[in-house]
Amino acid sequence: MSENMSPLTTLNDEQEMLISEVRRFCEETLRPKVSEMDKAAKLDPEIVKHLFEMGLMGIEIPEEYGGSGMGFFEAILVIEELARVDPSVSVVCDVQNTLVNNALIRWGSDEQKKRYLSRLAEGTVGAYCLSEADSGSDAFALKCRATREGDAWRLHGNKLFITNGQEAGIYLVFANVDPEKGYKGITCFIVTDEDEGCKVGTKEDKLGIRASSTTEIILDDVLVGDDRILGEIGKGYKTAIETLNEGRIGIGAQMIGLAKGALECSLAWTRERRQFGRPIGDFQGVQFALAKMDAEIEAARLAVYNAARLKEAGRSFVREAAVCKWFSAEVAERVSSMAVELYGGYGFSHDYPVEKFYRDAKIGKIYEGTHFMQLQTIAKLIM
């Protein structure tokens, strides 16, 4: 173990090899396309194809279904490494692994796993459809309905702010089968892009993570059978809560990767940029700024890895997931902001990478549970 590595951040040989492969992909294939995808607000299909070919879209999916058969911690490592170069691509991988695949692995029947996990491992993008126009932090105020029709269910409603909406072929849709029961009527259904009445609506024009699609999903009387229910009728709230707890660790990984990318750019810039006859990195004020960035990233990484290790060990991690998401989003915003300042006027230009990191960082305080909701969770658990 090297002197600057804690036991919590030390990786085994297999994990080191995985990160090495992902880093090579990021530098050789992904980085040249980041700016272009951001401007176009669209993922390059070849990038998505590479993610599947490398097994990064099915990290925890068992090998029998075509997945990589690795663990949750490996997924976190991959999400972090992708975000170091492009948080947009990172979140595509994050949602696929920590939300969609995770939910199917935990609550899917043998037949559902065989049918859908194999698709998600081999080439189909997944989307997690919980949010609605009036259902954000109050996630269980959803108005999407599922009505029994013979031996099937008819889904009707609109989902909003759905990550991967444009690319997805499989959707996990949360709908209420009995509104009088409140959240105890919420049920999770598996819907595909082949189902009549399932349509992609408006695509959001976003501040950051622009290449990652965020869309409306329209469910216009979509008919599905009982075999499309994930878990139990009326237990969708449990699926949502527990999956999102794990997903928050993924967002934490995305934020520390983003912050690391911003720091790396800043270090290179402060060696290159000269003022008063020497590199600006020679000035103590700049050195202290870089040191603070590095220290905060390390602290955030420890929080994320701790939550991931607890999850893998089968121990309680709800508080730790909230802590790591809250803190890593804070750090990502501060570090990327400082990176822009260190670049000076250049940092305010689209021609340099740090302004994109700054734009991408803001979403970390919003999706998969806002900053305020994380603090509420932490307060509730410590009090």
d(CA 37, CA 190): 30
The pLDDT confidence band at residue 6, using thresholds 50, 70 and 90, is low
For domain 238-382, is the CATH number 1.20.140.10? yes
**Cβ within 8 Å of residue 261, ≥6 positions away:** 83, 84, 85, 353, 357
57 in Cβ contact with 96 (< 8 Å): yes
Tell me how far apart the terminal alpha carbons of the chain are, to the nearest angstrom: 38
Burial class from Cβ neighbours inside 10 Å (0-12, 13-18, 19+) for residue 32 reads exposed
94 in Cβ contact with 254 (< 8 Å): yes
Position 2 pLDDT exceeds 50: no
| Range of weakest confidence among 8-17, 235-244, 295-304, 341-350 | 8-17
Mean pLDDT, residues 221-243: 97
Mean of the per-residue pLDDT values of the chain: 96
Position 320 pLDDT exceeds 50: yes
Mean pLDDT, residues 228-233: 98
**How many residues in total does the chain contain?**
383
pLDDT at 51: 98
74 in Cβ contact with 18 (< 8 Å): yes
Nearest to 154 by CA among 217, 218, 224: 224
The pLDDT confidence band at residue 7, using thresholds 50, 70 and 90, is low
pTM over 0.85: yes
The pLDDT confidence band at residue 1, using thresholds 50, 70 and 90, is very low
Instruction: Copy the structure tokens of residue 176.
Output: 């209420």
pLDDT at 4: 58
Sign, CA torsion 8/9/12/15:
positive
The CATH number corresponding to 13-125 among 3.40.50.620, 2.30.30.60, 1.10.540.10, 1.25.40.10 equals 1.10.540.10
Mean pLDDT, residues 297-316: 97
List, for residues 135-168, the tens digit of each pLDDT value: 989 988 999 999 999 999 999 999 999 999 999 9
| Identity at 10, one-letter amino acid code | T
Alpha helices in the chain (DSSP H): 13-25, 34-40, 45-53, 72-83, 87-94, 102-107, 110-112, 118-122, 236-272, 284-312, 318-343, 354-361, 371-382
Helices 236-272 and 87-94 sit at what angle, rounded to 10 degrees?
Answer: 160
Catalytic residue among 74, 80, 216, 368: 368
Report the top-level CATH class of 127-236: mainly beta
* Domain boundaries defined on the chain: 13-125, 127-236, 238-382
What does 146-165 look like in DSSP terms, one character per residue? EEEETTEEEEEEEEEEEETT
Mean pLDDT, residues 275-290: 98
Instruction: Copy the structure tokens of residue 331.
Output: 């750090």
The pLDDT confidence band at residue 5, using thresholds 50, 70 and 90, is low
Residue 368 annotated to the active site: yes
